[in-house]
Amino acid sequence: MDLLLSALDILMRWDVALALLTGSVGGVLIGAIPGVGPAVAIAILLPATFSMDPIVGLTVLLGIYGSSMYGGAIPAILINTPGTAVNALTTYDGYPMTARGEPRRALSLAYSASFFGGIFSVICLILFAPVLARVAPYFGSREIFLAALLGIILMVVAHRGQTLIAGALAAFGIFIQTIGLEPVKYTSRYTFDQPFLSGGINLIVVVLGLFALSQAFVLLTSEDEKIRMTRLRGGMFQGLRELARHPRVATVSASFGVVMGMIPGVGEFTAQFMSYTYAQRSSKRPQDFGNGSSEGLIAAETANNAVPAAAMVPLLALGIPGEALTAMMLSVFYVHNVVPGPGLFQNQMDFVVALYLSLLILNVLVLVFLLFATRSLIQVVRIPNRFLGVCILTLSFVGVYSLRNSATDCVMAALFGVLGYVLKRLSMPSVPIILGMVLGGIMEVKLRAGMARVKEPLDFIDRPVAFLLFLAIVLVLIGHFRRVLRERAEIKAAERGALKSGHRFGQMLGRRRGRFVKDRFKLVRARHAKRLRALKDLF
């Protein structure tokens, strides 16, 4: 009880209340505008939060992170365009409801499912907090190094079909982190005698370039679309009653969100896919999925809104961000000398509980705001792309320059903005670069500290937690390579079967083999057609 009262005392300040309101309402507005998203908003606001108290700055960022997914459901349901990337699955069942004249029902159900997922996640984490406080002291330098390495491997493996690309970009992020003075003997690394590289490349500069500036370039080079909005009639409370008729789907989907959010490098997409698949397989009407199923909409929205609070677990307990947004928040901790990790749960448990309570309050504020303000809110979807692009471009450069009053930082941010723009046009991920920078720095420091007591290679994993993490790394790698080999074996088996079925006559065999090879070439070429078109557009 004393801990709860201490956490409430932290939250009962006018600046924290203002941060709660700004984060919740601002996040909804940002999520409702297609093409912006929470990553862009957090990147722009990050420099401003450095001058705030830690609880105030983190509350604003957490509010944008969590509430943007609520707002992202609005364009996904009404115009079949997800406001944020994680709302893509919402279009599968949300827009068909709008097409058959039920936009109010779809929005109300999405809000209710999101609220349930967010509250479920926060309650679970408040209950897990004492457990985390007891487990955290078992994580030393070696354990945190292995946990960070596991996070990078999971992030790379999660990019199915782009594993090599994600791995290369993560390695590039690790390399960027090494530029400048190394942290022990302060010798120069990869500076090439250039003074502006001695201080290294600032994470915030890279974040603003890869996310904010690149998105501004995308918006500035895209055409403005004329959007026809569906008029909403009636109240917005219907979804709360309908959600109560599907408690199993909502609870299981929220559980997937909590578990996937706690694993570094996994995030919303995996949670959504698993919850949606489960809901479809366990439904009495699986044929309705993709055609306006209420269960499908509940599964998608509940899972993605259960992730933000859960994603704070590896960040707070181990100091390891699980994705780009929590990696940005990590810099707020470091600026204020609040070090996430085992010591945070031991010495500042009231601060941790205050963060979870702020997430709880944010979900309530967002739901109340949306239930009464949706009709006015949907007008933000009409904002022209190029106007948004100019605003993001201006705010991004202002934020970069305000970091160190350096024009060099602006040039560096512009270069990373061009890189991010190229990656977007080629449909390649930019998140591995950020996680590579953040986790690479953690791995370097912890590896140096951990190697001081290591005499033989096996000494590195001679403790129970270190061994379990090493075992998890091995199992993840084995599982990934088994899946790759199995997929290749299935392709070869399909090739042999296709060729064998046409072996009646030698001439027919030649024709079929030729057609098969030609068809396979077409498939490979089609797989890369989008990237080839993007390259032609760029050059």
Instruction: Please state the domain extents for the chain.
Output: 2-453, 484-538
Contact status, residue 96 vs residue 58, Cβ threshold 8 Å: no
Three-state SS sequence of 287-315: HHCCCCCHHHHHHHHHHHHHHHHHHHHHH
pLDDT above 90 as % of the chain: 2
Residues 6+ apart with CB under 8 A from 526: none
Contact of 437 with 155, CB cutoff 8 Å: no
pLDDT grade for 534, boundaries at 50, 70 and 90? low
What is the per-residue pLDDT across 289-298, written as a single tens digit (0 to 9) for each?
777 788 888 8
Contact 181, 444 (CB under 8 A): no
Ranges 84-93, 229-238, 352-361: which has the least confidence: 229-238
Whether pLDDT at 365 is above 70: yes
List, as one string, the DSSP characters of 416-462.
Answer: HHHHHHHHHHTT--SHHHHHHHHHHHHHHHHHHHHGGG-SSGGGGG-
Selected residue with higher pLDDT from 13 and 269: 13
- Calculate mean pLDDT across residues 263-290: 75
pLDDT at 539: 45
Q: Where are the alpha helices (DSSP H) in 136-220?
A: 141-158, 163-178, 203-207, 214-220
Q: Which amino acid is at 170?
A: A
Least confident of 66-70, 184-188, 355-359, 465-469: 184-188
Is pTM beyond 0.75 here?
no
Q: Which of 268-277, 293-302, 437-446 bottoms out in mean pLDDT, i.e. has the lowest? A: 268-277
Q: Which residue has the higher pLDDT, 506 or 500?
A: 500
- Cα distances (angstroms) measured from residue 473 to each of 18, 119, 158, 259, 466: 43, 32, 14, 18, 11
Q: Is the separation of the CB atoms in 265 and 160 below 8 Å?
A: no
pLDDT for the residue numbered 510: 47
The band of 53, judged by pLDDT with boundaries at 50, 70 and 90, is confident
Q: Is 498 or 468 the better-scoring residue by pLDDT?
A: 468
pLDDT at residue 393 greater than cutoff 60: yes
Which phi and psi angles does 89 have, rounded to 5°? -70, -20
Q: What is the pLDDT of residue 197?
A: 80
| pLDDT higher than 80, residue 133 | no
Q: Say whether pLDDT at 3 is over 80.
A: no
pLDDT score for 172? 92
- Please report which residue ranges of 33-89 form alpha helices under DSSP H: 37-49, 54-78
pLDDT of residue 231: 60
Q: What is the pLDDT at residue 505?
A: 44
Residues 440, 450: Cα–Cα separation, whole Å: 15
423 or 211: which leads in pLDDT: 423
Q: What is the mean pLDDT of the chain?
A: 77
- The predicted model gives 16-34 an average pLDDT of 83
Q: Which stretch of 110-114, 129-133, 388-392, 471-475 has the lowest confidence by average pLDDT?
A: 129-133
Residue 62 · residue 52 · CB < 8 Å = no
pLDDT of residue 236: 57
The answer to whether 44 touches 56, Cβ cutoff 8 Å, is no
Check whether 100 has a pLDDT greater than 60.
Answer: yes
pLDDT digits (tens, 9 = 90+) for 188-210: 888 887 887 877 888 888 888 88
**What confidence tens digit (pLDDT) does each residue in 320-364 have?**
776 667 777 777 777 777 777 767 777 777 777 788 888 888 888
- Reported as a pLDDT band with limits 50, 70 and 90, residue 162 is confident
pLDDT at 527: 52
The pLDDT of residue 516: 43
Query: Quick one: pLDDT at residue 507?
Result: 46
* pLDDT one-digit tens code per residue, 473-500: 899 889 888 888 887 887 777 767 766 6
pLDDT at 170 over 50: yes
152-162: average pLDDT: 79
